[in-house]
Structure 1
Amino acid sequence: MRVTFRCDPALIDILPRPKLAREAIPDWLKSMPAKAFSDLHGRDVRTVKQCPPFVDAMAHGFMISLPCDVRVEGGVFEWDWPAPPITVDQHPASPLSFHPPAQVLGTPLHRPDAVLIKFNSFWTIELETGWSLFATHPVNRPDLPFRLLSGLVDADHFHDGGINFPATWLDPEFQGVLPKGMPVAQCFAVPRARPELVFETLEGENAIAYSATVAEILAAPNVYRKRFRQRK
């Protein structure tokens, strides 16, 4: 899968480039222990650091990052981004803009005091024919003070304008800085063809394979990682 990114010529040397999600694994995952004591079991158990599906989901696709520091204090968002003048007409010049809360009226996201931000796009994204772009909140990142709204864009056709990333602000008490390079959206290329759903019962060889696989997983650790996980 080839993904092509384009930005305004004035920003090419200062704009953080999208990066593979595996290059944006948070420090807390890197530093967390592989095992931790469980009061329920009375012994050490493996943490999610040893769960390949958990880690692989966080490492899949690519990340869009914040282009500059954004200070948040008292519900006010401020930034000082000394970017040169934009050369392309209709191009955004600020890292954030905002949505009125009425746009999510009737959804669980709506609150009278809701703050809906939009991470503006400074890169266009072009995918190969037949593929769409699925953008979502960085996977397994509840530590971020916002929650991105997931979206699907047919980026094989829509690639001449930027894809913006709306989010609901979760922490009204947050005071601090959202740093330049902070991941704001995790993106995957997904095929647009509808899947064919097939339903069967576990019988014969499939039933035998099921029982053998589960027995092996219960008997020893790391079976999935050693036998089934594919190199990515």
Structure 2
Amino acid sequence: MRMTFRCDPRLADHLVRPYPARTALPDWLRAMPTKAHSDIHGRDIRTVKQCPPFVDAMAYGIMIPLPCDIRIEAGGFSWDWDIPEPETAGHPRAPLSFHPAAQFAAAPFANGRSALKFNSFWTIELEPGWSLFATHPVNRDDLPFRLVSGLVDADRFHDGGINFPAVWIKPDFSGVLAKGTPIAQCFAVPRQAPELVFEPFDEAHQQAYAKVVADVLAAPNVYRKHFRAKRGRLTS
């Protein structure tokens, strides 16, 4: 799978490039202890830092970064981003724009609020048959916004930017959303629909199920040691 990112030639030296999600694990996860005391169990138990599916989901795909610092004060958004005028007609220069509340009428996540739009400074092209799934950075409830998920057929739509709408969920937030902050986590997904097959366990699957459950309960790290696939490195 190849993901090709392109940008306006005048902005090439001014943009933060999208980066592998595995390089952007948050500080709170890195600082989390691997074990913590549970009053219910009466002993130390493993935290989600030792849960491969939790961490692998956060580390999967690529992150789209915020191109510059955004200052938020009293509900207002401002920035000081000195970049050249793009050479390409119709290309944005501001990092943010907005969607009126009417565009999200009755959507429960909007709650009647207008939405931000993180403007795109990169086009994204995928190989034939693949689409780009963009969603809020996984397990990142620490961010003061919630991205609205979307699916784009980026094997066909790749000559225009993909913008990323989001709802600002912390109205009392004051400070700076830093340049490079992940605003969207993106995965390439096959567009072909899966074939769904439903079967009851046969004897072999019953035995396999019982063995896996017993192994998981008997020792830690069974999934990590015996089932977790090795992740390939992203290349550029």
Interval of TM-score (by shorter of Structure 1 and Structure 2): over 0.9
Q: Give the whole-Å Cα distance in 1 for the aligned partners of 2:95 and 2:80.
A: 10
Question: SS at the partner of 1:10?
Answer: coil
Q: Give the whole-Å Cα distance in 1 for the aligned partners of 2:214 and 2:111.
A: 48
Q: What residue in structure 2 maps to residue 54 of structure 1?
A: 54
Q: Give the whole-Å Cα distance in 2 for the aligned partners of 1:225 and 1:42.
A: 25
Q: What residue in structure 2 maps to residue 19 of structure 1?
A: 19
Question: SS at the partner of 1:9?
Answer: coil
Q: Deviations over 1:55-75 (max 9, x none)?
A: 000000000000000000000
Q: Deviations over 1:96-130 (max 9, x none)?
A: 00000111111102334x13100000000000000
- Residues 1-232 of structure 1 correspond to what in structure 2 (within 5 A)? 1-112=1-112, 114-232=113-231
Question: With structure 2 as the length reference, what TM-score do the two structures score?
Answer: 0.97
Q: Give the whole-Å Cα distance in 1 for the aligned partners of 2:92 and 2:159.
A: 14
Q: Give the whole-Å Cα distance in 2 for the aligned partners of 1:7 and 1:79.
A: 21
Structure 1 residue 35, shift from structure 2 partner: 0.4
Question: SS at the partner of 1:177?
Answer: strand
Whichever residue aligns with residue 107 of structure 2, its letter is: T
Q: Deviations over 1:170-224 (max 9, x none)?
A: 0100000000000000000000000111000112111110000110000000000
Q: What residue in structure 1 maps to residue 234 of structure 2?
A: none
Between 20-29 and 181-190, the greater mean CA deviation after superposition? 20-29
User: Structure 2 stretches of 5 or more lacking a match?
Assistant: 232-236
Structure 1 residue 85, shift from structure 2 partner: 1.4
Question: With structure 1 as the length reference, what TM-score do the two structures score?
Answer: 0.98
Whichever residue aligns with residue 167 of structure 1, its letter is: A
Q: Give the whole-Å Cα distance in 1 for the aligned partners of 2:44 and 2:96.
A: 44
Q: Give the whole-Å Cα distance in 1 for the aligned partners of 2:170 and 2:39.
A: 31
Structure 1 residue 6, shift from structure 2 partner: 0.1
Question: SS at the partner of 1:208?
Answer: helix
Structure 1 residue 11, shift from structure 2 partner: 1.1
Question: SS at the partner of 2:213?
Answer: helix
Q: Deviations over 1:146-177 (max 9, x none)?
A: 00000000000000000000000101000000
Q: Give the whole-Å Cα distance in 2 for the aligned partners of 1:32 and 1:109.
A: 29
Q: Give the whole-Å Cα distance in 2 for the aligned partners of 1:123 and 1:110.
A: 26
Q: Deviations over 1:9-37 (max 9, x none)?
A: 11111200000100111111111100011
Question: SS at the partner of 2:10?
Answer: helix
Question: SS at the partner of 1:92?
Answer: coil
Q: Give the whole-Å Cα distance in 2 for the aligned partners of 1:111 and 1:224.
A: 40
Q: Give the whole-Å Cα distance in 2 for the aligned partners of 1:75 and 1:50.
A: 38
